[in-house]
Structure 1
Amino acid sequence: MKVTQGQFSFLPDLTDDQIRQQAQYAIDKGWAVSVEYTDDPHPRNTYWEMWGHPMFDNPDAAAAVFEVNECRKAHGSKYIRVIAFDASPGWESIRMCFIVNRPAQEPGFRLVRQEGEGRVVRYTIESYAVREPEGARYV
């Protein structure tokens, strides 16, 4: 199962040149580009680990691709994404986000049913990856 989060998630994986073009688009808009990684891609897990520092004053997208490749060397078996943060007043949030690296095998998610008092039934989504401890997933 392919995790579909962020932009371009239904497309084939982006090449380094396509990553550079998207990063350059973000830079041209004045957005700060950052690289993040995780081994828990749950849709509500918005706090991924940041790789390096945000590139606020970076005029060249080649540096973003360099950071992606450095992150791949260290965390190639995890999910890696590129985000673009718009710091302009009124936005101050992520404007663009896309996955640039995936584990070789993506185990997917399962629906967990929880029954409460009376007829209350709650459902949550749980990643199969969280069965393993952090750092041992996707090895």
Structure 2
Amino acid sequence: MRLTQGQFSFLPDLTDGEITMQVQYALDQGWAVAVEFTRDPHPRNTYWTMWGNPMFDLRDAKGVMMEIDACRTANPDQYVKVLAFDSSEGFETVRMSYLVNRPADEPGFELVRAEGPGRRVDYTVRSHATARPEARHGA
């Protein structure tokens, strides 16, 4: 299964050169860039772990790329995404969000059916990633 989440999800994975161009575009717009990662990319999991702080003061994509590379190195088997925030209207609005790293094995999702009273049937989506124990460093 290939996760399709965020911008560019219909394209092949972006190269570092393409990521750099997208980051520079965001910075040129005056947007703050942040890097986040997770092992559970469930569509309703909007709270990924933030890698450092949002980069409000950077204007060169090289600094952001250093953070992206550091996050990828520390979390090679997790999803990593870049977000660009626009605060020009007085509140933070996500203008861009796209994946820059994915695990070699993407476990996918399971559709879970639950029968209720009468003929009622409810469905939910469960991430297979949450069924696996988290890998321990040095184990």
Class of the TM-score when normalised by the shorter of the 2 chains: over 0.9
| Aligned match of 1:57 | 57
1:29 aligns with 2:48: no
Measure, in 2, the Cα distance between the counterparts of 1:90 and 1:125. Answer: 35
Tell me the secondary structure at the aligned position of residue 44 of structure 1: coil
Secondary structure in 1 aligned to 2:71? helix
Q: Which runs of 4+ in 1 moved over 3 A?
A: none
Q: State the AA in 1 paired with 2:117.
A: E
Alignment of structure 1 residues 61-80 onto 2, 5 Å: 61-80=61-80
User: How big is the shift at 1:90?
Assistant: 6.0
Residue 86 (structure 1) aligns with:
86
Q: 2:135 is matched by which residue type in structure 1?
A: A
Residues in 2 aligned to 1:30 and 1:92: alpha-carbon distance in whole angstroms: 12
Deviates more, 1:85-94 or 1:95-104: 85-94
Query: Match of 1:117, SS?
Result: coil
Cα deviation, 1:92-122, whole Å, max 9, x if unaligned, reads: 2211000000000111111001111122211
Q: C-alpha separation between the residues in 1 aligned to 2:6 and 2:19? A: 14
Q: Which residue of 1 aligns with 2:15?
A: 15
Is 1:136 the equivalent of 2:100? no
Report how far residue 29 of structure 1 moved: 1.0
Please state how far the C-alpha of 1:15 moved relative to its aligned partner: 0.9
| Alignment match, 1:121 | 121
| DSSP 3-state at the match of 1:54 | coil
TM-score normalized by structure 1?
Answer: 0.93
Show CA shifts across 1:4-41 (max 9, x none). 00001111111111111000111111110010000000
Task: Quote the Cα distance in structure 2 between the aligned partners of 1:29 and 1:120.
Answer: 49
RMSD (Å), alpha carbons:
1.4
**Alpha-carbon separation, structure 2, partners of 1:124 and 1:91:** 32
Which stretch of the first structure deviates more once superposed, 91-100 or 52-61?
91-100
Tell me, which stretches of 5 or more residues in structure 2 are unaligned?
none
Q: When the two structures are aligned, how many residues end up with a matched partner?
A: 136
- Say which SS state the counterpart of residue 126 (structure 1) adopts: strand
- Is 1:3–2:10 an aligned residue pair? no
The range that moved more, 77-86 or 113-122, is 113-122
Residue 44 of structure 1: aligned partner: 44
Aligned counterparts of 2:115 and 2:44: Cα–Cα separation in 1: 22
Distance 2:132 2:30 in 1: 40
TM-score, structure 2 normalization = 0.93
